[in-house]
Amino acid sequence: MPRCPVCKIQADPIDYEGARVYNCGGCGGHWMHPQRLEVILSRRDVQMPEPVRQRMMDLADESDSKEVLWCMTCGTAMEKQNFRYWNDIQIDCCPKCAGIWLDRGELEKCQIYWEYAQDHPEEWKHGDVIAKKAKIELQLARRRDELKDIRDAAEAARRLGRTGFFGWLLR
């Protein structure tokens, strides 16, 4: 069983609006793969009353992890990313296995924002374009990081090669 990246206790699998996710009983965070988040966002099983909505928004703002979290699946350092095109929802995403961690209240905040956007399309008519642009920018940033890692590795190999067994190849 996976352990929570925040409080390190065992996370339990639960069914959340038709999707199997892992929930931490200690800090209230959720672990899932992006496809599961899409399943959750596509459903509207419960209509939240306004006081509950506001409380969830407050919880999400209070509990947003500031430190680097490590992926529950592969152990890679996770990166902060905007949820869709909203800057005020930062979720932790694994660049290696694509798993996501949502701190306490963030899953509900994602639902609230997404449902509002669905109910008020006139306010979000350019949302798809913004979301696609953000996705492309993220992919470009990852490619730049991969290229930098390759260049660093090549430089390290070049330095080692001059003095090592295969040094004659680089001369």
SS3 content of the chain, % helix, strand, coil (to 5): 45, 20, 35
The model's pLDDT over 33-77, given as tens digits with 9 standing for 90+, comes to 998 998 888 887 667 777 777 777 777 777 767 789 999 889 999
Cα–Cα distance for residue pair 22/72, rounded to 1 Å:
10
Cα–Cα distance for residue pair 47/59, rounded to 1 Å:
18
87 neighbors 61 (Cβ within 8 angstroms): no
pTM of the model: 0.65
Element of type H or E holding 93: strand 86-93
